[in-house]
Amino acid sequence: MTYKLGPRPESPAEIEAVLDDLRKASTGTLGHLTDFGFASGLAPLCRPAKAVGLAFTVRIPDLDGTAVHYALSLARRGEVVVVDTSGQQARAAWGGVVNHAAIRAGIAGVVIDGPVTDWEEITASSLPVWCRGTTSVTARAITLEGAVEVPVQVGGAVVRPGDIVFADSDGVFFIPPDGAAELAKALLQREAREPQIKRRLDAGEQLIDINGARARFEENIA
């Protein structure tokens, strides 16, 4: 029986500006550029949903939810709690009371690789939650094991403490801080082009000519 508490990472000086830029963008735009860092199979409990912040990571076993409760005493305002359930997807390690505690702590959002309970209470709250649905079976207050602020895996993506959580109504991406500023600018630039594309469509052009799909297809017909 053991618990682990990792060190809190240093954040780059420009991180707040990066987070602000990402709040103006969508995960669907990032999904045009990369698959890496996408949490497969997770969805928000209700929409619209948006959370952008630094990851505060937790890893728990099947039964013991102690580390989740402990994490809420350490996570800072604006951070996103990210919970690795060690592959189990039958028990809820997040429910109404824990959700209320997270709101009181100023948490910006929750990403959990498993189900939650107390759907009505959570969806009526101000806290966005991404998960794998709901269940009535929960983790227990026992002394087994767990870890806080360590690398975890959620939805097939590796998440390190201090990574950026970029989540909205379409899904969740985890972005390493290194290179995030350039990535955020690229997302904003791509989204800024979309109104122009729609105007061209309204003027009668076809999408396959605007994005080059016609040429790519016709030049490679077998």
Q: Which domains does the chain have, with CATH numbers?
A: 2-184 (3.50.30.40), 190-218 (no CATH)
Chain mean pLDDT for the chain: 96
Query: Residue 1 above 80 pLDDT?
Result: no
**What integer is the mean pLDDT of 165-170?**
98
Question: In this predicted structure, what is the pLDDT of residue 62?
Answer: 86
Query: Residue 112 above 90 pLDDT?
Result: yes
Question: In this predicted structure, what is the pLDDT of residue 163?
Answer: 98
Helix (H, G, I), strand (E, B) or coil at 189: helix
Confidence of residue 13 (pLDDT cuts 50, 70, 90): confident
Phi, psi of 13 (to 5 degrees): -60, -35
Confidence of residue 205 (pLDDT cuts 50, 70, 90): very high
* 50-59 vs 145-148, strand pairing mode: antiparallel
Phi, psi of 19 (to 5 degrees): -60, -40
pLDDT, tens only, 16-63: 999 999 999 999 999 999 999 999 999 999 999 999 999 999 999 989
